[in-house]
Amino acid sequence: MKTERIRGMYDILPKDVGWWRLAEQAMIETARCYNYREIRFPIVEYTELFARGMGEATDVVGKEMYTFPDRKGRSLTLRPEGTASVVRAYLNQGWQTQSPFQKLFYIGPMFRYEKPQKGRCRQFHQFGIEALGSLDPSLDAEVISFAWSMMDRLGIGGLWLRLNSIGCANDREQFKGVLRTHFAPSIDQMCADCSRRIGENPLRILDCKESQCQSFIEAAPGSADHLCTECADHFTKVRELLDALGLDYEIDSRLVRGIDYYTRTVFELMSKDLGSQDTLLGGGRYDGLVKTFGGPPTPGLGFAGGFERLVIILQERENAKLEEAGLDLFLATLGEEGRNYAFALTEQLRRGGISVDIDHRGRALRKQLTLANNLHARHLLVLGEDEATSKNGKIKHMDSGEETEISLETDSIINFLNQGA
């Protein structure tokens, strides 16, 4: 029997969970401020959802998805991203006709079969938002502002934006022709993936990270220079709104993102405070995706980022320290009567909202006191036969060592602890 974990899939241990909660809470609180509602969707979807939505030629669909047949022979896939599932849910709920403007956020695990490395896993955890039902440039600026605000909330500084527009569907097709013309004379000197991409989707060449391809990519024309009037106006207005918000951005006319559904605005949020200037999150518009899935023409946009990378950033910051929550109270016991009384009292206090624990191994008082320290208990109460009989005891504040006589009635203990909170 194999008991080791699957490669690229990791346990999130108790010592690290606090960092994850910190990042998750920043997402949840930012969503509340921007009026985005939470959506939770299945881990498994029909494979066609991702193949059609993300594009058959993308690396995610072609190389990285966990796909398998169910017992009826239907092809299912562990979700590799969230946008396609949100759009599917949008259509399933009939929002396209009943309530077409939706602002949603999600948090949850995704799956991609790729080489595990620091901050990149085969089961990874993503946070993201999706806003559907508006073409207005103000929504582009709001989505970017949401991402920026979340990172501000986490204290990540030096933020800047890589920003581009890849235009509408017609612009994309025309720009593909421009790229084929540019790369054709040198494609034999580029990597095998780029040789394949020039026929399937030359936009993907711009996303290549192979060193042998970089000089040709750097010399390539930019998509922002090949926009129709409407898309160019939209991009201008997005930039004006970002300027009004005081958000720092740089135009990168070769930024395309790695998924085929993107249109118009695309962006990646970076931090200059990180040595490698790695991407914190990325996103953009996908104005044709709802129609691809059989719905009416409905614009949309969003972003997604990985919690693994974000948690590493939080942990590696200078003077990074996570405040231990600790227990409100630890009950140490002497003798069988004290132990029985403490057990019943523990349950009553928990139901009153107090975090409290006892020793479950029947150990000596000294080891119980050590456990109370290890659990960072704020208060200690020792219960023996005398306390169980008199229903009175001494509660000790662990930091100051101060002891206070107290009635062992549940309400008395709860009031005392809440006053000292």
* pLDDT, mean of residues 113-122: 84
Look at residue 420 and tell me whether its pLDDT is greater than 70: no
Report how far residue 163's alpha carbon sits from residue 269's, in angstroms, rounded to the nearest whole number: 9
Query: Given pLDDT bands bounded at 50, 70 and 90, which one contains residue 29?
Result: very high
Q: According to the model, what pLDDT value does residue 28 have?
A: 97
**Residue 214, pLDDT score:** 86
- Where residue 219 falls among pLDDT bands split at 50, 70, 90? confident
For residue 341 the two structure tokens come to 């009384």
Q: What is the pLDDT of residue 183?
A: 87
Displacement of CA 49 from its chain's centroid (Å) = 21
pLDDT tens column, 366-410: 999 999 999 999 999 999 999 999 999 999 999 899 999 999 999
Residue 261 clears pLDDT 70, i.e. is over it: yes
pLDDT of residue 275: 58
Confidence of residue 187 (pLDDT cuts 50, 70, 90): confident
14-168+228-316 adopts what CATH topology? BirA Bifunctional Protein; domain 2 (3.30.930)
Bridge partner residues of 130 (DSSP):
104, 302
Q: Please list the residues that pair with 333 across neighbouring strands.
A: 383
In this prediction, residue 326 carries a pLDDT of 81
CA distance 361 to 371: 11
Section 149-175 average pLDDT = 90
Angle at 69 between CA 52 and CA 91, to 5 degrees: 40
Pair 34, 142: CB distance under 8 Å: yes
Q: Residue 27's pLDDT is what?
A: 96
Q: What is the mean pLDDT of residues 340-360?
A: 93
119, 308 Cβ separation under 8 angstroms: yes
Nearest CA-CA partner of 53 in 17, 27, 77, 19: 77
In the structure, what pLDDT confidence band is assigned to residue 71 with cuts at 50, 70 and 90? very high
d(Cα 217, Cα 179) in Å, to the nearest integer? Answer: 10
Is the dihedral angle over the CA atoms 141, 143, 149, 154 positive or is it negative? negative
Is there a shared CATH topology between the 14-168+228-316 domain and the 329-419 domain? no
pLDDT at 277 over 60: no
Contact between 342 and 358 (Cβ < 8 Å): yes
Res 276: pLDDT:
55
Checking DSSP bridges between strand 279-285 and strand 300-306, what pairing results, if any? Answer: antiparallel
Whole-number pLDDT of residue 103: 98
CATH 3.10.310.30 fits 329-419, yes or no: no
Report percent pLDDT > 70 for the chain: 98
Backbone angles phi, psi at 364, to 5 degrees: -65, 160
CA 83 vs CA 169, 258, 259, 298, 357: distances in Å: 19, 13, 11, 14, 43
Reading phi first (left if > 0) and then psi (alpha if -120 to 50, else beta), residue 100 is in alpha
* Whether residue 86 has pLDDT greater than 60: yes
In this structure, what token pair is assigned to residue 23? 């990042």
Cβ distance 258 to 170 under 8 Å?
A: no
For the cut 70, the answer to whether the pLDDT of residue 52 exceeds it is yes
Q: Where are the domains of the chain?
A: 14-168+228-316, 329-419
Banded model confidence at residue 190, pLDDT cuts 50, 70, 90 = confident
Is the pLDDT at 421 greater than 80? The verdict is: no
- Reported as a single tens digit per residue, the pLDDT across 279-329 is 899 999 999 999 999 999 999 999 999 999 899 888 887 677 777 778 999
Tell me the CB-side half-sphere exposure of residue 415, using CA atoms within 13 A: 7
Are 110 and 81 in contact by the 8 Å Cβ rule? The answer is yes
d(CA 387, CA 338): 7
To which H or E segment does residue 57 belong? Answer: none
